[in-house]
């Protein structure tokens, strides 16, 4: 299925950079890499075993090179994000999944499961 119009709010830039995603419900990190990024969000590739679902709140860590860390004063840029889409059909690696993220100011607690 092809989308007839562009829904993105910000220009995306192709960036292949390692990322680490903290999943609070699983209480662990999942390592992957970015495909593209914008001011509003990112598309990342994560292992298929990462228990992400649409609406999940996560934290994404973008590690910085030594030079950039020295210039910016931090080793990683950490962003709060919400999972807005998961694409299990178009992955380069069969053991991976593409996850579209929307950046948030802070991760909001998810409602308790009953």
Phi, psi of 65 (to 5 degrees): -65, 165
Q: pTM of the prediction? A: 0.74
CA-based nearest residue to 38, from 91, 74, 81: 81
- Judged by average pLDDT, the poorest of 18-22, 37-41, 109-113 is 109-113
What's the pLDDT score for residue 105?
A: 73
Cα distances from 102 to residues 23, 41, 54, 66, 114, in angstroms, run 15, 4, 11, 27, 26
What's the pLDDT score for residue 107?
A: 46
Q: Distance between alpha carbon 62 and the CA centroid of its chain, in Å?
A: 10
Higher pLDDT pick, 99 / 70: 99
Q: Distance between alpha carbon 67 and the CA centroid of its chain, in Å?
A: 24
Domains of the chain: 13-104 (2.40.10.220)
What's the pLDDT score for residue 64?
A: 61
Give 26-84 pLDDT, tens digit per residue.
899 999 999 999 989 999 999 998 999 999 999 998 876 666 545 555 556 788 999 99
């Amino acid at each position: 299925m092809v989308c007839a119009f562009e829904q993105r709010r910000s220009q995306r830039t192709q960036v292949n950079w390692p990322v680490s995603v903290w999943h609070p419900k699983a209480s662990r990190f999942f390592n992957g890499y970015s495909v593209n990024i914008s001011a509003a969000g990112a598309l990342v590739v994560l292992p298929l075993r990462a228990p992400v679902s649409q609406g999940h709140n996560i934290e994404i860590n973008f590690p910085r090179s030594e030079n950039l860390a020295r210039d910016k004063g931090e080793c990683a840029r950490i962003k709060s994000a919400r999972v807005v889409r998961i694409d299990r059909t178009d992955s380069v690696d069969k053991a991976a999944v593409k996850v579209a993220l929307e950046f948030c100011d802070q991760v909001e607690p998810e409602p308790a499961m009953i």
